[in-house]
């Protein structure tokens, strides 16, 4: 079988799992528990695990929610990473400057976020030519350096559901060319076989931070969007009964028992509208140390 055909079959399989694999979450969780040893002696004992906290600023409501979110972050003395879009930096430069003045990190999330309802609804990242994909990343870097005097060292792709179609080695080379050092776009189930949750990619100098998956939907990112706002029945049905707090309690417990890191992204609009950030901090605080991604490269973790 040719390499191209193998890749096509792999993409189809992964897309199928994204769409329907979550229906089998009880069996996937059983397999995961069997495959991954539980190194924590008991929940509530053992070393604290790193919890990488990030927020996506994909809509104006997210940006307008920043002041309230900063208050909550300051309450727990937590620094976070914010995946930002170049066009929004141009529209709201002062709000993005405040992210930096508060001591948080900015992550490159492309210039226009293709397939964004507010900014770029009729474009899709995976359908762009390689040079257009690179330009989306480069232009965001340029805007950030020009308006904020800040150069992001990390990147997050728009729309995780399409990431299986992205040429990741080419992406890593593009990031390397721009002087960046990490990516955080792959769900845990998508990372190469034999790799840890944080690993150095085959492109020297580029590290991948894999994204934690929902304990009830192992083929979906553990994000606030799929809990609160998704129109997919497979998500809505479960989270009618499994609340945000229950979901994160299960995530923290599982990762603590296996002594794994946690890496999630949240939307400020959800944190403020549903008033759940305090609950998240109180659930995770006894078992986790909170970090932005940049801390990893400061050897703080």
Length of the chain: 301
Place of tokens 């191209």: 4
| Residue 41: inside a domain | no
Number of structural domains (the chain) is 1
Q: Write out the E strands in 137-192.
A: 154-155, 182-183
- Give the CATH number of the domain where residue 149 resides: 3.20.20.370
Quick one: which of 292, 288, 263, 300 has its CA closest to 49?
A: 288
pLDDT in tens, 272-296: 999 999 999 999 999 999 999 999 9
Task: Check residues 203 and 18 and name the one with the higher pLDDT.
Answer: 203
Give the phi and the psi of residue 196 in degrees, each rounded to 5.
-85, 180
| Residue 11: inside a domain | no
Q: Which helix (H) or strand (E) holds 263?
A: strand 262-266
| Residue 22: inside a domain | no
- For residue 25, name the pLDDT band (cuts at 50, 70, 90): low
Most confident of 88-102, 113-127, 256-270: 88-102
User: What's the domain range around 235?
Assistant: 50-297
Q: How far apart are CA 207 and CA 201, in angstroms?
A: 6
What percent of the chain is predicted at pLDDT more than 90? 65
CB 188 within 8 A of CB 213: yes
What pLDDT is stored for residue 23 in this prediction? 53
State the pTM of this model. Answer: 0.86
Q: Give the dihedral of Cα atoms 132, 134, 137, 141; nearest 10 deg.
A: -110
CB 105 within 8 A of CB 80: yes
């Amino acid at each position: 079988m040719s390499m191209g055909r193998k890749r096509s079959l792999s993409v189809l399989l992964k897309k199928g799992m994204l769409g329907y694999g979550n229906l089998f979450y009880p069996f996937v969780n059983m397999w995961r528990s069997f495959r991954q040893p539980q190194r924590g002696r008991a929940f509530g004992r053992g070393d604290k695990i790193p919890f990488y906290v990030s927020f996506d600023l994909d809509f104006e409501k997210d940006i307008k929610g920043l002041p309230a979110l900063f208050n909550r972050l300051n309450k727990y003395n937590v620094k976070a990473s914010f995946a930002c879009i170049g066009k929004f930096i141009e529209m709201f430069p002062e709000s993005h400057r405040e992210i930096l003045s508060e001591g948080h990190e900015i992550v490159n999330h492309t210039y226009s976020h293709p397939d964004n309802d507010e900014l770029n609804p009729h474009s899709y990242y995976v359908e762009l030519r390689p040079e257009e994909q690179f330009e989306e990343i480069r232009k965001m870097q340029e805007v950030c350096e020009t308006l904020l005097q800040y150069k992001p060292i990390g990147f997050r792709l728009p729309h995780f559901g399409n990431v299986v179609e992205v040429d990741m080695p080419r992406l890593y080379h593009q990031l390397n060319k721009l002087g960046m050092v990490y990516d955080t776009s792959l769900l845990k189930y998508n990372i190469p076989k034999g790799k840890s949750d944080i690993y150095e990619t085959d492109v020297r100098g580029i590290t991948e931070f894999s994204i934690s998956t929902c304990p009830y939907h192992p083929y979906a990112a553990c994000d606030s969007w799929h809990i609160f706002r998704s129109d997919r029945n497979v998500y809505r049905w479960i989270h009618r009964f499994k609340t945000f707090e229950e979901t994160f309690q299960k995530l923290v417990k599982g990762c603590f028992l296996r002594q794994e890191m946690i890496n999630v992204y949240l939307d400020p609009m959800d944190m403020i509208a549903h008033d759940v950030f305090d609950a998240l901090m109180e659930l995770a605080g006894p078992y986790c140390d909170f970090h932005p991604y940049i801390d990893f490269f400061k050897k703080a973790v």
